[in-house]
Homo-oligomer: A and B are copies of this chain.
Amino acid sequence: MTAGNQEEQIELLTSTDDDHGGVIVEMDEPMDSTTFVPILKASLSHWKQQGKRGLWVKVPIHLVNLVEDLVKEGFWYHHAEPKYLMLVHWIAETVNTIPANATHRVGVGALVSNEKGEILVVQEKTGHFQGTGYWKFPTGVVDEGEDISAAVVREVKEETGIDSEFVEVLAFRQSHKTFFEKSDLLFVCLLRPLTFDIKIQEVEIADAKWMPFDEYAAQAWIEKYELMKYVNEIYLAKIDGRYSGLTPVSTTSQASDQISYLYLNAGGLKRCNSL
């Protein structure tokens, strides 16, 4: 309250420390520039004195008016999702060690194979194959925070109504610039059906059925896609017992209590254990 304390009277942004000598601010209260800019400048000066390095400010889209002020103070974009923008600023003298943004979307393809030598195929209402009459195996995109093995089971259920269990990742493909500058990873998975009655999802799927694998593989369009030809070869080797993909094992570490799946060739290790 005294003149000597004046500096301490300036309000600072509420922040939490991260594990790398930086701070994270989550904006939530509406504010105009005349209020925000002095608080931001005081906070920057405070963090600099504290020896902070990376500064993160998450701005929900309804506070878009604050973005320009942050950029004028030296922040730049790190990543964005529909409802927020994450900005970052490196205020240390040392080399910027701000981690890169996510670079890949992750997709899954499902070979759901029954005991009659048939696979589950669909015709899509949207996308590249829309209206072509091509029968293809179900594919989809892994949601944020979703395991690959769960995503592929979910996609099959959503598109066709079939319950299935995950067997293994047969192969994966990395492709670039599939969406602006971003890359894609597509995991082709083998699944075992648990139910057999198809119920199609009307929005995305025009038709679905169990199709003899030979008939599926003989479609002319597949000749144009080396990926599809390899997948066919892999599938035939698999049902002959000559091919091993990667299966998930859950792993934890003392450093974090999160469970993560490691996908490995379990056959190779099993033979190891039996020696």
Contact = CB atoms under 8 A, between A and B. Distances in A.
A269 interface: yes
A103 B102 contact: yes
B64 A185 contact: no
Contacts of A81: 77, 101, 181
Interface residues of A, number: 84
A173 B71 CA distance: 36
| Copies of this subunit | 2
Interface stretch (A1-9, A42-50, A235-243): A235-243
A175 B99 CA distance: 16
A234 B264 contact: yes
B68 A77 contact: no
B243 A268 contact: yes
A232 B42 CA distance: 51
A205 interface: no
Output the residue of A61, A81, A86, A141 with the most chain B CB within 10 A. A81
Interface of A: 61, 64-65, 67-68, 71, 76-86, 95, 97, 99-106, 126, 128, 141-145, 147-148, 170-177, 179-183, 185, 203, 224-227, 230, 233-234, 236-238, 240, 242-246, 249, 251-255, 258, 260-265, 268-269, 271-272
25 contacts: A64-B71, A76-B82, A77-B84, A100-B141, A100-B144, A103-B105, A104-B106, A104-B142, A104-B185, A128-B255, A144-B181, A147-B174, A170-B264, A172-B262, A173-B261, A173-B262, A177-B258, A224-B254, A226-B251, A226-B253, A226-B262, A233-B269, A237-B269, A242-B271, A244-B268
Given A103-B105, A106-B185, A128-B255, 8 more contacts: A78-B80, A144-B183, A171-B246, A172-B262, A173-B262, A175-B260, A176-B258, A227-B251
